[in-house]
């Protein structure tokens, strides 16, 4: 086990997969000479060369379109979208092509491709650069959408994503890159589409993922001091969504809070709560609560932005409301 940052974990996964399989290559804005805007691909250009670490023009539709095309020929491209906010410029290629081709042509088209995209707020980047639109992408059948919250999962899931034959949107959080965690050495694959209990507890179930795993863990630490034991289920994948650990936990605690960074309306929590009610209605003691971003475009001003983002106290309050 080594204690490494999320950035190192993602970087290692890419590096090891590129060493292992010559059909894996990277493309995106500033991934090469610059070394990646978040320094994830630092050193790659010099080591793997410009053919396998391709700097692209600012042209998201072309980046994703070309990723699809290259994947159709059997390559395994890993496209980097500088931020997930720019995925909207490539929306047709993500939802109308990547998510559809395999189905529409009855399996003739196979796209072993990964789109890495950085999301999340909290850095005062203003309304257009701070979004967490994960649920939007998870809406579309045909896409795999994952958003790991620990270095171990990030490394293991990115490796699985690269080896997968389906298009995977791999969402990273801009404020998690420095977070450290234990990561097993070697070729450790973490499956896609599997939720995981990150922290055992008996009083309440907190369902969350990505950055909000960090926030929820802090909340659980504080609650523990008051004698409240929260069980945290990390979804890790939004599509496919693995409800088994959620339902098992809920049947034990009968109480749940869903914590997500995106907006509440039509969000991840909406889906999780609906499925809890569908699958475990008899176990509901109190209405499940949702903690999410205030429903405003994120403002630049630091105080306002922090007001809008889910905080540790919001999670604690919601937990106490369901107890």
Partner 1 sequence: MEKQEYLDLYYQMVMIRLLEEQAAQLYQQGKIGGFLHLYIGQEAVSTGLISVREPRDRVITAYRDHGVAINCGIPATEVMAELLGKATGCSQGKGGSMHMADVKKNFWGGHAIVGAHLPIASGLALGDKYAGNDNVTICMFGDGATNIGYFHEALNLSKVWNLRVLWVCENNQYGMGTAVERASAVSEIRQKAEGYCIPNSRVDGMDILAVRQAASQAFEFIRKESTPYFLEIMTYRYRGHSMGDPERYRASEEVRKWQENDAIGIYARHLLDDKIASQEELDQLDALVEAEVAEAVRFAEESPEPAPEALYEHIYVDQQFGIIT
Ligand X SMILES: Cc1ncc(C[n+]2csc(CCOP(=O)(O)OP(=O)(O)O)c2C)c(N)n1
- Contact residues for ligand X, defined by CB under 6 A: 29, 58, 60, 82, 86, 89
Helix (H, G, I), strand (E, B) or coil at 151: helix
Which is nearer to partner 1, 61 or 189 (by Cβ)?
61
The active-site residue out of 8, 29, 80, 129 is 129
Verify binding: residue 55, partner 1, rule CB under 8 A. Answer: yes
Which is nearer to ligand X, 26 or 212 (by Cβ)?
26
Contact partner, 224, from ligand X, partner 1, none, Cβ < 5-8 Å per class: none
Minimum distance of ligand X from residue 33's CB (angstroms): 13
Phi, psi of 80 (to 5 degrees): -110, 125
Phi, psi of 161 (to 5 degrees): -60, -45
Largest CA distance in the chain: 59
Q: Which of 3, 20, 47, 123 binds partner 1 (CB under 8 A)?
A: 123
Active site residue 93: no
Task: Say how far residue 42 (Cα) sits from the centre of its chain.
Answer: 22
Which is nearer to ligand X, 37 or 311 (by Cβ)?
37
Active site residue 60: yes
Contact partner, 239, from partner 1, ligand X, none, Cβ < 5-8 Å per class: none
User: Can you list the pairs that 127-132 forms with residues at least 24 positions away whose Cβ atoms lie under 8 Å?
Assistant: 127/297, 127/298, 127/299, 127/300, 128/85, 129/83, 129/85, 130/85, 130/298, 130/305, 131/84, 131/85, 131/262, 131/298, 132/84, 132/260, 132/261, 132/262, 132/293
Neighbours of 129 (CB within 10 A): 18
Sequence-ordered list of residues with C-beta below 8 angstroms from that of 148, at least 6 positions apart, any chain: 154, 157, 158, 190, 209, 210, 236
Contact partner, 3, from ligand X, partner 1, none, Cβ < 5-8 Å per class: none
Task: Say how far residue 174 (Cα) sits from the centre of its chain.
Answer: 11
Which is nearer to partner 1, 18 or 292 (by Cβ)?
292
Q: Which of 3, 20, 61, 321 binds partner 1 (CB under 8 A)?
A: 61
Verify binding: residue 266, partner 1, rule CB under 8 A. Answer: no
The active-site residue out of 8, 17, 29, 60 is 60
Residues tagged active-site? 60, 129
Instruction: Name the residues that contact partner 1, by CB under 8 A.
Output: 29-30, 33-35, 37, 55-62, 85-86, 88-89, 123-129, 264-265, 294-297, 299-304, 307-308
């Amino acid at each position: 086990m080594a204690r490494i940052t999320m950035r190192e974990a993602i970087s290692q996964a890419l590096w090891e997969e590129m060493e292992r399989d010559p059909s894996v290559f990277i493309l995106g804005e500033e991934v090469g000479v610059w070394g990646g805007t978040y320094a994830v691909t630092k050193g790659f250009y010099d080591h793997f060369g410009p053919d396998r670490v391709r700097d692209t023009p600012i042209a998201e539709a072309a980046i994703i379109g070309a990723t699809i095309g290259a994947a159709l020929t059997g390559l395994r491209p890993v496209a980097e979208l500088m931020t997930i906010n720019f995925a909207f410029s490539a929306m047709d290629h993500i939802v109308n092509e990547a998510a559809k081709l395999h189905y529409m042509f009855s399996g003739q088209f196979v796209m072993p491709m990964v789109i890495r995209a950085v999301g999340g707020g909290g850095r005062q980047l203003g309304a257009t650069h701070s979004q967490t639109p994960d649920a939007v992408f998870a809406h579309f059948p045909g896409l795999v959408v994952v958003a790991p919250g620990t270095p171990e999962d990030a490394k293991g899931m990115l490796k699985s994503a690269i080896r997968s034959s389906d298009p995977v949107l791999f969402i990273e959080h801009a404020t998690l890159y420095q977070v450290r965690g234990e990561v097993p050495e070697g070729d450790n694959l973490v499956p896609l589409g599997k939720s995981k209990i990150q922290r055992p507890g008996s009083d309440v179930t907190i369902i969350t993922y990505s950055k909000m795993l960090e926030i929820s863990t802090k909340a659980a630490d504080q609650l523990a001091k008051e004698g409240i034991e929260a069980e945290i289920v990390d979804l890790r994948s939004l599509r496919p969504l693995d409800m088994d650990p959620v339902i098992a936990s809920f049947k034990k605690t009968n109480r749940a809070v869903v914590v997500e960074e995106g907006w509440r309306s039509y969000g991840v929590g909406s889906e999780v709560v609906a499925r809890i009610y569908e699958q475990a209605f008899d176990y509901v003691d109190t209405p499940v609560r949702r903690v999410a971003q205030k429903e405003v475009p994120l403002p630049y001003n630091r105080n306002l932005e922090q007001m809008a983002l889910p905080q540790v106290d919001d999670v604690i309050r919601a937990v106490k409301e369901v107890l």
